[in-house]
């Protein structure tokens, strides 16, 4: 009899399914199941803004690189009409501005953020540094917060060297204000804490004279009343904000992570942090309004010089959405008084 040896049937593995979308944030950022991040070239950010565009302001601007290793840039604005009574150029306060976007979207190049930079420079007036930073989820927190520190270090280096002619000619580097909108306000807070705690952010000869936090983007696992009761069918609502935290925070972290919650269980205490005057602007119709008010109340309880101004009838991001509206006019007046006038009281 002939014997036959049987070979096991070869197994052919099925092809891996193509990666699918895990998170789609406004059609601007998509996180895929394999960890890939895509940013479509066309999104609502490509559309012209609905608000008025001012092209006649006497403000000049230029783009510079502040971090060569990462190719990060900022846009410098300065008014061309700021002169003394003798016709000489006036040294102006410096505003370091961090835009919003949930740490996931945005750039100083977007027309709305560009318009904000122009308005701040012209109407305060001030030299404005509007900085881009690394975005999530490609670069999760605390990457953006570290970039905020790098901007201040860049400013310090140029102040010491006099390398940038605009800063040398126009900037009063003993009056530097850090202004952040939404997640930019979060960044301003972290820069303030890092500098005020003396933890290695040496920016001499620059002096930070104050911070402006506009509708700061903070989070926490425990919902505030304004978050829990906020309408679910609003774009700037809880679903979007929670999604942006999932994309921005370290993988697996909760909203109590120190990058999100200044008073979370693992956040460093702020009692011993030396803060200059802080101006916090809240919006009545912002879902984060109670969290912002709580932030101010806690700082005041520590004796920090913080002022709260509430803008009635406004929602999150109102300055960017309508930079020439009535609420924006009032915001600029409040910040102008803060920058050029008396600091807020401690009580």
Residue whose C-alpha is closest to residue 274's, from 309, 301, 308, 305: 305
Structural Rg of the chain based on CA atoms: 23
| Catalytic residue (choose from 170, 182, 190, 257) | 182
Indicate the Cα dihedral angle 29, 117, 275, 226, nearest 10°: -50
Chain Cα centroid distance, residue 292 = 15
Q: Is 316 a catalytic residue?
A: yes
Residue 316 — φ and ψ, nearest 5°? -60, 135
Question: What is the Cα–Cα distance from 24 to 122, expressed in whole angstroms?
Answer: 37
DSSP structure string for 231-244: -TT-TTSHHHHHHH
Question: What is the Cα–Cα distance from 312 to 195, expressed in whole angstroms?
Answer: 32
| Catalytic residue (choose from 123, 164, 286, 290) | 286
Question: What is the Cα–Cα distance from 166 to 78, expressed in whole angstroms?
Answer: 8
Q: Is 286 a catalytic residue?
A: yes
Kindly state the helix (H) or strand (E) to which residue 156 belongs, with its residue range. helix 143-161
Residue 156 — φ and ψ, nearest 5°? -60, -45
Interaxial angle between packed helices 143-161 and 183-196, expressed in degrees from 0 to 180 and rounded to the nearest 10? 60
Question: What is the Cα–Cα distance from 19 to 35, expressed in whole angstroms?
Answer: 9
Q: 278-283 and 306-311 as β-strands: parallel, antiparallel, unpaired? A: parallel
Residues labelled catalytic: 182, 286, 316
């Amino acid at each position: 009899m002939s014997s036959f040896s049987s070979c096991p049937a070869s197994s052919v593995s099925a092809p891996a399914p193509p990666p699918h979308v895990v998170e789609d944030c406004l059609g601007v950022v998509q996180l895929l199941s394999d960890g890939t991040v895509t940013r479509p070239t066309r999104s609502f950010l490509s559309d012209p803004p609905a608000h008025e565009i001012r092209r006649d302001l006497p403000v000049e601007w230029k783009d510079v690189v502040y971090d060569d290793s990462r190719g990060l840039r900022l846009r410098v604005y300065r008014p061309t009409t700021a002169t003394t009574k003798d016709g000489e150029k006036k040294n102006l306060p410096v505003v370091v501005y961090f835009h919003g976007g949930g740490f996931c979207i945005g750039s100083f190049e977007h027309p709305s953020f560009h318009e904000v930079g122009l308005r701040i420079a012209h109407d305060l007036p001030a030299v404005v540094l509007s900085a881009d930073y690394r975005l999530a989820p490609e670069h999760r927190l605390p990457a953006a917060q570290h970039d905020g520190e790098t901007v201040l270090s860049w400013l310090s280096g140029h102040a010491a060297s006099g390398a940038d002619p605009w800063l040398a000619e126009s900037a009063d580097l003993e009056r530097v204000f850090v202004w952040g909108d939404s997640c930019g306000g979060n960044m301003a807070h972290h820069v303030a804490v890092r500098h005020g705690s003396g933890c290695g952010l040496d920016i001499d000869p620059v002096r930070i004279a104050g911070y402006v936090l506009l509708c700061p983007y903070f989070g926490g696992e425990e919902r505030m009343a304004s978050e829990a009761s906020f309408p679910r069918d609003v774009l700037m609502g809880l679903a979007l904000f929670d999604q942006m935290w999932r994309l921005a925070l370290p993988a697996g972290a909760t909203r109590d992570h120190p990058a999100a919650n200044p008073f979370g269980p693992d956040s460093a205490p702020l009692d011993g942090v030396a803060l200059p005057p802080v101006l916090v602007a809240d919006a009545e119709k912002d879902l984060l309004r109670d969290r912002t008010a709580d932030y101010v109340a806690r700082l005041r309880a520590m004796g920090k010089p913080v002022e709260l101004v509430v803008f009635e009838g406004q929602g999150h991001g109102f300055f960017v959405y309508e930079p020439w509206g009535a609420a924006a006019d009032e915001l600029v007046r409040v910040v102008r008084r803060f920058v050029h006038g008396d600091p807020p009281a401690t009580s």
